[in-house]
Amino acid sequence: MEVSITGHNRRVITRRLFFLFICMWVPMEVVGKAGNGSVSSRPSVVNIGALFTVDSVIGRSAKPAVLAAIDDVNSDESILSGIKLNIILLDTNCSGFLGTIEALQLMENDVVAAVGPQSSGIAHVISHVVNELHVPLLSFGATDPTLSALQYPYFVRTTQNDYFQMYAIADLIDYYGWREVIAIFVDDDNGRNGISVLGDALAKKRAKISYKAAFTPGAPKSAINDLLVGVNLMESRVYVLHVNPDSGLSILHIAKNLGMISSGYVWIATDWLPSQLDSIEPADPDTMNLLQGVVALRHHTPDTDLKKRFVSKWKNLKDKETASFNSYALYAYDSVWLAAHALDVFLSEGGNMSFSSDPRFHDTNRSTLQLGTLRTFNGGQQFLQTILKTNFTGLRGQIRFDPDKNLVNPAYDVLNIGGTGSRKIGYWSNYSGLSVIAPEILYQKPPNTSTSNQHLYGVIWPGETTSTPRGWVFPNNGKSLRIGVPNRISYKEFVTKDDSPQGVRGFCIDVFEAAINLLPYPVPRKYILYGHGDRNPEYNELVYQVTQNNFDAVVGDVTITTNRTKIVDFTQPYMTSGLVVVVPVKEMKSSPWAFLKPFSIEMWCVTGAFFLFVGAVVWILEHRINHEFRGPPSQQLMTIFWFSFSTMFFSHRENTVSTLGRLILLIWLFVVLIINSSYTASLTSILTVQQLTSRVEGIDSLISSTESIGVQDGSFARKYLVDELNIAESRLVTLKNQQDYTDALQHGPKNGGVAAIVDELPYIELFLSNTNCRFRIVGQEFTKSGWGYAFQRDSPLAVDMSTAILQLSENGDLQKIHDKWLTHKECTMQVNEVDSNRLSLNSFWGLFLICGIACLIALIVFFCRVLCQYIKFNPEAEEAQVDMEPARSSRRTSRTPSFKDLIGFVDKKEEDIKEILRRKSIDSKRQPSQVSVGQSFSPS
């Protein structure tokens, strides 16, 4: 974190600089032995340095914490037994130059590690020094993300990296749905690099920093006031304040005076604000009144017993002049213990505690700077690796480093400032994102950073409101929303030029105005016509003007396409649309053979065959018992034909008496009923429809043909047909207005016209209603899209307008506007193709299958019954009885039954068969002699 330079500090710095440079001209006595230095495997005293600004919010907490840690280490016999840890503390006074000089002075004391600095700017400079001298730098306050670079191997950050804090802020912004923020920061290493990481984190959430409001360190209040006045004129109302604790409150005080901490504003402060509040606790009422509604992040430290004991001892640790205590005190305390733990391991492993002079530092050019007094820590590299491998539990939790030299388990408390203090509304960790559950509990569960798992408690925002602010307003700079409107020459019902003060009118304009009126805030706007008025403008170019900042939005009949959504944001569609094919139609001429068209050829053939088949089946089933189905062969044949076809009209006069015959007739009459009804409906439709004059039946047949296609001037249909459907551009004919549509379709492709027109459905519906239904749509819509209003990328107005359009649709106002502008006559004449009304066998094969199966079953039952009778009176059975009586066999002559006998048996009447059965039964009772086959089958 950074601190500001006060006037008093400047005077102190000036005096110390003057004294330092005077001393540089005096030969300095080298403390210690030159050359390779002495080697001590187990020294009695080990020096470590401390380097930070004592008189600062962070320094006032860090100094007593560092001193307390030194005392605790020296009094703990379990660590560094027999070795005293000596602290050498120097004050950098918020000066990078002084910090560098004092770092050099610190290195003259043979320190093995340096705790600090708190300033990222000073850390950048000092890191070069410790790199040369191999002294690890344990910084508890430098949070600049770039300090983790490989350029600074001896820099070890013992606090949280601002990289994680910026990602926490990005998650917070995404959680509330904001898309643009303004970053206010100090223009130094810590500020610039932190905000740079924030920009990257927001980009992953499809948000951005709309403006970076930077001010110089120590900037006067007048400069900050001017900066905030300019910020207040901008659109975004979400401010991320990334400054240092010593100057942050003054910025908020100026913002309060400008009315910028009120309803509608959002202030998100980094960890500097909780550090400041914790240091001055309890805060005075004026300060708390200044911060009402601010959201801030604070380093999360688990409430362990070790931490509680330290806090309870704090009153004895702090300086008498201040009650300062914040999270940086914990990091400073743990930094000393980190050095102690690592030093203990380093010495136990035989680490080299020697220092040696570097020849490069000797004064070869008679320089007055005594760089020769600087000595390199010979065991520095080994000690650095030991530090990075150290793992222990400190005041802030587990102290362990990941491969990037960052502390593991980074986490922050999310605070909401209100009343006389702050309220914790949740936590953030890179393990599970935003949560109302403490991170140490979540570490025991699988990680889950999904959107549905992000939760925070409610926030009281500036202005004492609990509803989440929109996060943006229209800029207070007098500028109106620049709205591009297509200057159409056709289909002016949608949008056209007008002489009214508004300058435009139409369906699209009315919907836009109705949606604007539903917004809870005013939207100053100005409509600007795009196009020369002699032809429809190119809509892709119109949308492109939004990306060039020539327009803030485009209002009109703009189709939402994939390529356009890549460069602008569209609202919810207010009109459904899709490409369709239009062709001409004419009245169908009557034909003397129209009665044959309802059925296909296959249907006619199968139907006729079934009439004959069913007639034959019924004749077979009725022939033996029904006298109406008997007689000469010619008469029986005529009966079959007459009975079959008379069932079509339910006019058959022959009665059926058999059970099987009646069942078959019942099923067949049901089939005939279905066929008659379908035939009547199809013939009626065919005789009352229109016929197409074109062979085009849809987009597929249009693609396969080579005939010309009409497209509307300026429409995206041309690009779609060429790029997506691979239709040759030479086939496309540009049509400017509705009269061009009519002429092109009537002339046809052979007379310089077109075979069909491809255009969007809303245009075509309006076109058809004005042409007395002389044309029609064929096939289905082959694209599904809609019309929407285009805004610049990430414009929050697009989201609010989408909500307003949905509201218009739900309350019926959208339909009313549609009826006002686009009410048109519907075509009352049916339009259809003959082929679509022609019935094929596919529609009836199930009926025929049922009927056929029933007939086959009836025939099988019938013939089984006849066969049983025939076997019962089989002549061979009677001859077997003759063989049993040899005496009588000589009197009779047996013969083999033939197929003719079977046919003759089938042809007999049922009553004759029964009579023969009766007589045979009587004869068999009177005498055992067998009745000859010839007698049995003799004519009655």
Per-position DSSP letters for 410-461, written without gaps between them: -EEEEEEEETTEEEEEEEEETTTEEESS-HHHHTTS-----GGG-------B
pLDDT at 424 over 60: yes
Q: What confidence category does residue 25 fall into, taking pLDDT thresholds of 50, 70 and 90?
A: very low
Q: HEC profile for 774-786?
A: CEEEECCCCCCEE
Question: Rounded to whole angstroms, how far apart are CA atoms 206 and 109?
Answer: 52
Q: For residue 824, what pLDDT is reported?
A: 64
Question: By mean pLDDT, which of 30-44, 545-559, 906-920 is the weakest?
Answer: 30-44
Question: Rounded to whole angstroms, how far apart are CA atoms 840 and 597?
Answer: 11
Other beta carbons less than 10 A from residue 114's beta carbon:
28
Question: Rounded to whole angstroms, how far apart are CA atoms 55 and 13?
Answer: 13
Tokens 């206010």 correspond to what residue?
Answer: 184
Pairing of strands 295-299, 411-418: antiparallel
Q: Percentage of residues in the chain with pLDDT exceeding 90? A: 46
> Which tokens in the block code for residue 896?
């083999």
Per-position DSSP letters for 615-666, written without gaps between them: HHHHHHHHTTT-GGG-SSHHHHHHHHHHHHHHGGGT-------SHHHHHHHH
> Which tokens in the block code for residue 803?
């909500």
Alpha helices in 42-141 (DSSP H): 57-75, 96-107, 120-133
Q: For residue 818, what pLDDT is reported?
A: 92
Tens digit of each residue's pLDDT (9 = 90 or more) over 687-696: 666 555 567 8
Region 22-47: what's the mean pLDDT? 50
Question: Rounded to whole angstroms, how far apart are CA atoms 249 and 238?
Answer: 18
Tens digit of each residue's pLDDT (9 = 90 or more) over 159-198: 999 999 999 999 999 999 898 999 999 999 999 999 999 9
Q: Which residue has the higher pLDDT, 837 or 262?
A: 262
Residue 357 DSSP class:
E
pLDDT at 856 over 70: yes
Q: Which residue has the higher pLDDT, 909 or 261?
A: 261
Per the prediction, the chain carries an average pLDDT of 82
CA-to-CA separations, 287 to 273, 344, 459, in angstroms, rounded: 11, 45, 19
Phi and psi based region of residue 812 (left: phi greater than 0; alpha: psi -120 to 50; beta: remaining) = left
Q: What confidence category does residue 547 fall into, taking pLDDT thresholds of 50, 70 and 90?
A: very high
- The closest of 70, 72, 73, 74 to 88, measured between CA atoms, is 70
The torsion angles phi and psi of 344, rounded to 5 degrees, stand at: -65, -45
Q: For residue 544, what pLDDT is reported?
A: 95
Q: For residue 886, what pLDDT is reported?
A: 45
Residues 6+ apart with CB under 8 A from 171: 205, 428, 433, 434, 454
pLDDT at 897 over 70: no
Tens digit of each residue's pLDDT (9 = 90 or more) over 352-365: 888 888 766 655 55
Question: By mean pLDDT, which of 20-24, 442-446, 602-606, 750-754 is the weakest?
Answer: 20-24
Residues 6+ apart with CB under 8 A from 499: none
Question: Rounded to whole angstroms, how far apart are CA atoms 509 and 151?
Answer: 59
pLDDT at 12 over 60: no
Q: For residue 336, what pLDDT is reported?
A: 95
Rounded to 10 degrees, what is the CA torsion of 5, 9, 12, 18? 10
Region 675-701: what's the mean pLDDT? 74
Q: Which residue has the higher pLDDT, 810 or 680?
A: 810
pLDDT at 666 over 60: yes
Region 8-28: what's the mean pLDDT? 41
Question: Rounded to whole angstroms, how far apart are CA atoms 124 and 425?
Answer: 35
Tokens 């909401």 correspond to what residue?
Answer: 416
Residues 6+ apart with CB under 8 A from 938: none
Q: What confidence category does residue 528 fall into, taking pLDDT thresholds of 50, 70 and 90?
A: very high
Question: Rounded to whole angstroms, how far apart are CA atoms 923 and 823?
Answer: 95
pLDDT at 287 over 50: yes
pLDDT at 265 over 60: yes
Tens digit of each residue's pLDDT (9 = 90 or more) over 729-765: 999 999 998 899 999 999 988 888 999 999 999 999 8
Cβ atoms of residues 68 and 50 within 8 Å: no
Question: Rounded to whole angstroms, how far apart are CA atoms 796 and 201?
Answer: 19
Q: Three-state DSSP class for 713? A: coil
Question: Rounded to whole angstroms, how far apart are CA atoms 928 and 825?
Answer: 96
> Which tokens in the block code for residue 66?
């560092």
